[in-house]
Chain A
């Protein structure tokens, strides 16, 4: 019924405004700070990143180490 539709649309619009108010109120930091933190995290953890640093075959569980030992 057109009345129900109208009140539904009103409720949807009210919810949308309420949500936008919430999102508008979020506390933001400067892009310079955000960028620096991302940069620093990457640099500080670089040596611990196997895909970035490469993995020596002896330490690579997916690669059996080549050995010539005779038993």
Chain B
């Protein structure tokens, strides 16, 4: 390396460090209080006791992902038995049982329209299935291939666009029609594990194995903000229902809430008795409750404003791998390595 280049590298390193210090200081300057203090006058939510209302039986192996349809009735689940199952959660009937080319599935998603579902995993691809095909058969509509690592998560923006996160450290916005990448979101320094789309569909957030969460502007293709603080991989991420905050779940056994407008962490959900990783999370409709799935087979329910545990869902015989609250807030669905899905309320 030339002396000139070395000098420039040193300059850039110094500038990067300066900017990081600037960001830390700017965030600190906004800390006129804490969320704990602001919520001091509010009482903790009373004990939340949800019961299993339905058990969805049918998968023959570990369930890795589930996603509610926007109708709050149907949901899709993905299992390493090589099947995607669309369930009617009220009757427990299987509406569709879709055999997959690759059984190493890690994620699934339901399109807002209800017309399509998607899945992907160790095949590095995102496969799109049309549920409303003319002859009634569910077929692969598109195979989105370009990631050089596993597909960890996917979420539809519409029937024509989907966002994926990958073990190759990038997220991608795809044009489903043409099967091409519209935008590549690069910046994470570790496997991207999870993503969530903002309620207004303008942004998405990603959680990665570099211990950070990033907020991305979908149309600009840029990373707006980066949130650190976790001490291990972020496995789960979700938006607070008003779209102004982000909740993450990590292998460090904690969940954190970051406010987007204050650009910083406001509170951590952790307990010394919890020593295992968070696998999944979902807020309730008002955002007051945070339901988080853990490696110890339980779901803990947190009061998001008071950071106190207010309930536990114990019912699975193995790790809770996925969780989702329906759009109308009426039910929570958990999926587990024990091969069952449970509906709670």
Contacts and interface: CB of A to CB of B under 8 A. Distances in A.
A24 to B, nearest CB: 5
10 contacts: A23-B23, A28-B30, A28-B264, A31-B32, A34-B261, A46-B288, A51-B330, A52-B285, A62-B53, A62-B331
Secondary structure of the A contact surface, majority rule: helix
Contact-size category for B:
35 or more
A26 B29 CA distance: 13
B2 interface: yes
Nearest to B50: A51
B183 interface: no
Nearest to B6: A6
B39 interface: yes
B5 A51 contact: no
Contacts of A33: 261-262
Nearest to A37: B244
B330 A42 contact: no
Interface stretch (B10-18, B108-116, B130-138, B167-175): B10-18
B32 A38 contact: no
Interface of B: 1-2, 5, 8-9, 12-13, 15-16, 19-20, 22-23, 26-27, 30-35, 37-39, 42, 45, 48, 50, 53-54, 73, 89-90, 187, 222-226, 240-242, 244-245, 259, 261-264, 266, 284-289, 291, 304-305, 325, 328-332, 343, 345
B288 A42 contact: yes
Given A24-B19, A31-B262, A32-B32, A42 B305 contact: yes
Nearest to A12: B12
A45 B279 CA distance: 27
Contact of A63 (B38, B53, B332): B53
Given A2-B1, A7-B5, A37-B244, A49 B23 contact: no
B18 to A, nearest CB: 9
A24 B21 CA distance: 9
A49 B286 contact: yes
B244 A45 contact: no
Given A28-B263, A51-B285, A52-B285, 5 more contacts: A6-B5, A13-B16, A36-B38, A51-B331, A60-B345
Nearest to B287: A42
B307 to A, nearest CB: 12
Please provide the 4 A-B residue pairs with the shortest distance between their CB atoms, ordered closest to farther.
A35-B38, A45-B286, A49-B286, A62-B53
A16 B187 CA distance: 9
A41 B45 CA distance: 15
A41 B35 CA distance: 14
A21 B19 contact: yes
A60 B344 CA distance: 11
A34 B259 contact: yes
A70 interface: no
